[in-house]
Amino acid sequence: MSVTELPIQEKRGLKADLPILLEGQFGFCTDTKEVFIGDGTANNLLGAKGDTGLTGPKGDRGDAGTQGPKGDTGLTGASGAKGETGINGVKGDTGLTGSQGAPGINGSQGIQGIKGDTGAKGDTGGQGAKGDVGATGAPGTTNYNSLENKPSSLPANGGTANGMNYTDSRNTNFNGFDYKGITVHLKSNATDGLNDGGTYHGVLHITQWGDVSGGKAHELGFTDNGNTWYRDWDGSAWSVWLKIAKSTDIPTKLSQLTNDIGAGGGIKITTSPTSPTSPSPSDFWYKII
């Protein structure tokens, strides 16, 4: 008859999980490698160290034992502090340029966006500097046959003129040097802005040179209200019309002056060689010398 041998295993496990062993029951702690035997109420460690006995006399020193095997390598120590950064090495040569990649396929054109609103109008720029006056042209030659209203013949001594013909420029507000010398013109009031009675007026145009380097151009205007006006051309624009005063336009009495100082309404104005008596505040006294 054959005999089968079976191993006997005692109760085992972690020490924290070891229960109270039965009396005479063994228990093995798999984590601490300790062996306990129970008595029914507590677990007793086998091989526990007993009370220390009295120290015996020191024996003779024994022979030195053989050197034990080399122990395991200890744990790696903590890393040391990082050293200072070394000097930068010499820059290497630039590598060869890689070949150019093939061009990508053009994308399809996107849908046109909605037209934006028109932006606000910007401020008007400043007027540019006035250009230099051009050089005076060479004097032209007069073709007698091209003159208008010329006499059919002249006396041997030259004779005298009995008048100056006019130019109908009623709808043209020409520049100051478009005509040279002394010329007479018919003008519409709306053309040059001289509105002083009627629809038209006469203009005497005078230039003493071919351009402004010899002085301004001048004009006298004669209106249907019997007044004479003046303006000049400075090389780029006409001045405003100024009325030339006649003797009847010059005031000779205080009553003809414009009252722009608050006189009247209880304010007394006195004209005399001596100061007035008992003047009131805001009264005026004009001394006659």
Q: How confident is the model over 213-231, as pLDDT tens digits?
A: 999 999 999 999 999 999 9
Per-residue pLDDT at 265 exceeds 90 = no
Q: How confident is the model over 188-211, as pLDDT tens digits?
A: 999 999 999 999 999 999 999 999
Tokens representing residue 250 in the block: 């010059």
pLDDT of residue 171: 96
pLDDT of residue 261: 62
Longest CA–CA span in the chain (Å) reads 185
Nearest residue to 265 (alpha-carbon basis) of 280, 277, 285, 287: 280
Q: List, in order, residues 6 or more apart from 172 with CB less than 8 Å away.
A: 191
Mean pLDDT of the chain: 82
3-state secondary structure of 231: strand
Lowest-pLDDT choice from 90-94, 147-151, 159-163, 251-255: 147-151
Among all chains, which residue has been given the structure tokens 């089968």?
4
Task: Kindly state the average pLDDT of the residues 145-151.
Answer: 56
Per-residue pLDDT at 148 exceeds 60 = no
pLDDT of residue 170: 96
Q: How confident is the model over 65-123, as pLDDT tens digits?
A: 788 788 888 787 777 788 788 788 788 888 888 888 788 787 777 777 787 777 777 77
pLDDT of residue 222: 97
Q: How confident is the model over 177-186, as pLDDT tens digits?
A: 999 999 999 9
pLDDT of residue 88: 81
Most confident of 55-69, 232-246, 265-279: 232-246
pLDDT band at 162 (very low <50, low <70, confident <90, very high): low
Task: Kindly state the average pLDDT of the residues 246-273.
Answer: 74
pLDDT of residue 50: 53
Q: How far is the C-alpha of 239 from the C-alpha of 230, rounded, in Å?
A: 9
Distance of CA 217 to the CA centre of its chain: 45
pLDDT of residue 168: 95
Size of the chain in residues: 289
- To 10 degrees, the CA torsion angle through 86, 91, 96, 99? 60
Per-residue pLDDT at 250 exceeds 60 = yes
